[in-house]
Structure 1
Amino acid sequence: MNKATEKTTQQFESVFVSPMRSYTLTALDYYDQLVSAQLDAARAYSDMAIAQARTWLDVKDPDSFKKAMETQQKTAGEFMERVKGDTEKVTSIGQSFAQDSQKMAEETTKKAVETAKQ
């Protein structure tokens, strides 16, 4: 009876617990990367906004107004490039997570079938 219980425990570990642990680690890594990317983006966007606000505070005459407008156009271009890069980064993180999750699901299904045959 003890050997049967041990075998069942091992099968349960192999088919359910181990794959769930692996998936949880992968999910935690995904969320860590995603939150980190979002925080980096938020920081960059707020830095841009603050720098632009400081530029406008320096406007005192037509020349400084012209400079502020030029800076705003440059900042808008940098902002769009940053958004594009951040979007690509988040998409890549999501795709990697989806691929890893699919691979784990396939491996878990294969283990379950093999275990069921025993």
Structure 2
Amino acid sequence: MNKAAEKTSQQVESIFVSPMRSYTLTALDYYDQIVSAQLDAARAYSDLSIAQARTWLEVKDADSFKKAIESQQKTASDLMERMKGDGEKVTSLSQHFVQDSQKVAEDTTKKAVESAKQ
């Protein structure tokens, strides 16, 4: 009787608990990386905005106005590059998460088939 209960417990562990733990760890790692990327992006965007606002506050004449316009154009270009990089980073993180999730699902399926054969 104990052997049957132990075998059932091992099957539950290998088929349900272990894969769920693996998936949860994968998901937590993904969410941690996504939140970190979002916070980094938000910080960078706010720093650019504040720097640009400070530039405009320094406008006092036609020359400083011209410099502010040039600064704004450079900032817009830098912002577009940053947004492109951030988008690529999120895409990469998401693809990695999907691949890891598929691997967990495949491993779970293999374990379930092996357990069913026993």
Question: TM-score of the superposition, structure 1-length normalised?
Answer: 0.99
Deviations 1:14-41 (A, max 9, x none): 1100000000000000000000000000
Task: Give the secondary structure class of the aligned counterpart of 1:60.
Answer: coil
Structure 1, unpaired ranges of 5+: none
Q: Does 1:13 align with 2:2?
A: no
Distance 2:6 2:45 in 1: 56
Question: After the TM superposition, which parts of structure 1 deviate over 3 Å for at least 4 consecutive aligned residues?
Answer: none
- Could you tell me how far 1:8 is from its partner in structure 2? 0.3
Aligned mates of 1:61, 1:13 — CA distance in 2: 73
* Residue aligning to 1:51: 51
Q: How many residues align?
A: 118
SS at match of 1:32: helix
Q: State TM-score, norm by structure 2.
A: 0.99
What residue identity is the alignment partner of 1:105?
A
Q: Secondary structure at the match of 1:4?
A: helix
Correspondence for 1:60: 60
Identical positions, percent: 81
Q: Which runs of 5+ in 2 are unaligned?
A: none
